[in-house]
Amino acid sequence: MLALEEQIQRILPVGLSGSVTKIVGLTVAVSDFPAPLGSVCKIATESGRSVEVEVIGFQGEHTLLLPYDELTGIRRGNRVTMVQSVPGIRVGDQLLGRVLDGRGRFIDSGVPAALPHRAPIHAEATSPLKRPRIDTPLGTGVRVIDGLLTAGKGQRLGIFAGSGVGKSVLMGQMARNSTADVNVVVLVGERGREVREFIEKDLGPEGLARSVVIVATSDAPALQRLRAAFVGTAVAEHFRDQGKDVLLMMDSVTRFALAQREIGLAAGEPPATRGYPPSVFALLPRLLERSGRNDRGSITGFYTVLVEADDANEPISDTVRGILDGHIMLSRKLAHQAHWPAIDVLASISRSMPDVTTDQHRAASDGLKQLLAAYRESEDLISIGAYQAGSNQQVDVSLRMREAIQQFLQQGMSESAALDSTIEQLLQLSQVRESLLQNSSASDETHAASA
């Protein structure tokens, strides 16, 4: 009871009010309005229309607000009232199968559901010392990920790619086929045309039935695009705290960062790295660290990063890669070769894979990666016919197993691969590899003896 009373005392009354002093760009300045940072307010107009805004900063005696909607019709002197000092959303099991906007409101054709619980959208991440270790694999239904880049329940991975390389299709495939109990899909800054296409084509009825989709399209105000990421994370935390294994997929972190850049610059922050203000790099870990395990359930996060000009070292990509527990690189070259999924295995890594796989599985995975690396190093010689058989044992074996390896790495967009089946296929490939290497070694010894 005492803890509840302390929480109530920390919440400011919603009766605060002020008046619009000026508007600069998309920023509204309000005088005599000591509302806390992040609180939601409402501006009333003469026409009866009200515009919801959020406190983003302070400048002198003014409180700076940014709108969730258009500012059309607002003038100097309009009344501003605080509505909510601690931003939150309603959550519940009734969210499954539904589509929400960046503020947690239903936007599909279904009937609005009564949601029994309330969750803060800016909750604190689980304490580092209260996070159980990641020790259980999560099947994604994608063979190359489950076999060579195995993810664990509670892990966070980035999917890095340029535009048009297949991030959305890969996310839909994982949502349909993963072993998670609940999917939470967050589309930040997505093209409006592609939202329904993703829901009906990539996600499908079976994927949507156990998913919650949060959408803030590219034409939505920056606050909605930013808030969508936190709303999706809050929904995932609700299901995790019920003891479920949640698969959280966000597309994309880059557009989330662009939304914060717009907000930061509007609040008067100085641009730093490539025009991004410091708040962007402070906000990224606050968002990404909220995924993971606790003593009740888990949130496994897949965050897509739109690589600018296919440069994996641009500021957002570099920062996100340093925060997450692994990265999956999609290759435009493989995509142009109709290689699906276009995952560059040698450029990707899952840092939790050693903790969630057996020694046999890891050995088989490492062996296959060695063959891929050997083939890539000699690819130019092979393509022009200059490679001499017997020059490199690993290359010889990779050439003989080339077709079988490609069949393992490639998978149809509608095809599902169970985790156990994937591991079994990988071990079979490992046995073939060991046999070929032994035969090659025996042949070399015979030639040496005869010489």
- Tens-digit pLDDT profile for residues 227-252: 999 999 999 999 999 999 999 999 88
- Asked whether the predicted pLDDT for residue 2 surpasses 50, the reply is no
Asked, for residue 53, whether it belongs to a domain, the answer is: yes
Domain count, the chain: 3
Strand stretches in 349-408, DSSP E: 349-350
**Residue 11's pLDDT is what?**
52
On average, the pLDDT of the chain sits at 89
Asked, for residue 7, whether it belongs to a domain, the answer is: no
- 346 and 284 share one domain: yes
Interatomic CA distance for residues 101 and 371, integer angstroms: 46
- 237 and 370 share one domain: no
**Residue 45's pLDDT is what?**
87
Smallest CA-to-CA distance from 439 within 385, 396, 387, 388 is with 396
Asked, for residue 68, whether it belongs to a domain, the answer is: yes
Residue 134: pLDDT band by 50, 70, 90 thresholds? very high
97-111: average pLDDT: 91
- 308 and 382 share one domain: no
**Residue 423's pLDDT is what?**
96
**Residue 60's pLDDT is what?**
87
Judge whether 345 and 372 are in contact, CB under 8 Å: yes
Q: CA-based angle 205:206:208, to the nearest 5?
A: 65
Residues 394-428 pLDDT 10s: 999 999 999 999 999 999 988 999 999 999 999 99
- 153 and 258 share one domain: yes
Where a domain ends, among 353, 382, 417?
Answer: 353
Interatomic CA distance for residues 99 and 215, integer angstroms: 7
Asked, for residue 160, whether it belongs to a domain, the answer is: yes
User: How are beta strands 156-161 and 211-217 bridged, if at all?
Assistant: unpaired
- 284 and 308 share one domain: yes
For residue 12, the tally of other CB atoms under 10 A from its CB is 14
256 CB-contact burial (10 Å; exposed 0-12 / middle 13-18 / buried 19+): buried
Residue 206: pLDDT band by 50, 70, 90 thresholds? confident
Where a domain ends, among 64, 85, 106?
Answer: 85
For residue 346, the tally of other CB atoms under 10 A from its CB is 13
Please report, for residues 146, 183, 196, 215, 394, the alpha-carbon distance to residue 99 in angstroms, rounded to integers and kept in the order given.
28, 12, 10, 7, 50
- 275 and 336 share one domain: yes
**Residue 107's pLDDT is what?**
92
Tell me what percent of the residues of the chain surpass a pLDDT of 70.
94
Interatomic CA distance for residues 315 and 248, integer angstroms: 23
- Asked whether the predicted pLDDT for residue 9 surpasses 50, the reply is no
Least confidently predicted of 23-27, 332-336, 443-447: 443-447
Tell me what percent of the residues of the chain surpass a pLDDT of 90.
65
Asked, for residue 8, whether it belongs to a domain, the answer is: no
Where a domain ends, among 85, 115, 130?
Answer: 85
Asked, for residue 451, whether it belongs to a domain, the answer is: no
**Residue 443's pLDDT is what?**
62
Strand stretches in 162-306, DSSP E: 182-190, 211-217, 245-251, 292-293, 298-306
Asked, for residue 30, whether it belongs to a domain, the answer is: yes
Residue 390: pLDDT band by 50, 70, 90 thresholds? confident
Judge whether 241 and 118 are in contact, CB under 8 Å: no
- Asked whether the predicted pLDDT for residue 190 surpasses 90, the reply is no
Residues in contact with 109: Cβ distance below 8 Å, sequence separation at least 6, in sequence order: none
Residue 53: pLDDT band by 50, 70, 90 thresholds? very high
What backbone phi and psi angles, to 5 degrees, belong to 140? -100, -15
Interatomic CA distance for residues 414 and 202, integer angstroms: 9
- 47 and 99 share one domain: no
Residues 294-323 pLDDT 10s: 999 999 999 999 887 666 778 999 999 999
185-202: average pLDDT: 89
**Omega of the bond prior to 341 within 30 degrees of 0, cis?**
yes
64-78 burial, b if ≥16 CB within 10 A, otherwise e? bbbbbeebeebeeeb
**Residue 48's pLDDT is what?**
83
362-373: average pLDDT: 96
Beta bridge partners of 401: none
- 281 and 220 share one domain: yes
**Residue 163's pLDDT is what?**
80
Interatomic CA distance for residues 291 and 250, integer angstroms: 12
- 112 and 74 share one domain: no
- 186 and 302 share one domain: yes
**Residue 444's pLDDT is what?**
59
Beta bridge partners of 19: 31, 79
Q: Range of 30's domain?
A: 15-85
- CATH number, domain of 366, equals 1.20.1270.330
- Asked whether the predicted pLDDT for residue 70 surpasses 90, the reply is no
Judge whether 182 and 210 are in contact, CB under 8 Å: yes
- CATH number, domain of 186, equals 3.40.50.12240
**Residue 1's pLDDT is what?**
46
Residues 247-284 pLDDT 10s: 999 988 999 999 999 999 988 899 888 889 999 999 99
pTM score of the predicted model: 0.90
- CATH number, domain of 41, equals 2.40.10.170
Asked, for residue 411, whether it belongs to a domain, the answer is: yes
Counting Cα atoms < 13 Å in the Cβ hemisphere of 205 gives 0
- 202 and 304 share one domain: yes
- Asked whether the predicted pLDDT for residue 439 surpasses 90, the reply is no
Rama region for 137: left / alpha / beta (φ>0; ψ in -120 to 50; rest): beta
- 102 and 146 share one domain: yes
Contacts 24+ apart (CB under 8 A), 135-139: 135/355, 135/356, 136/356, 137/356, 137/357, 137/419, 138/178, 138/179, 138/180, 138/245, 138/247, 138/300, 139/177, 139/178, 139/179, 139/418, 139/419
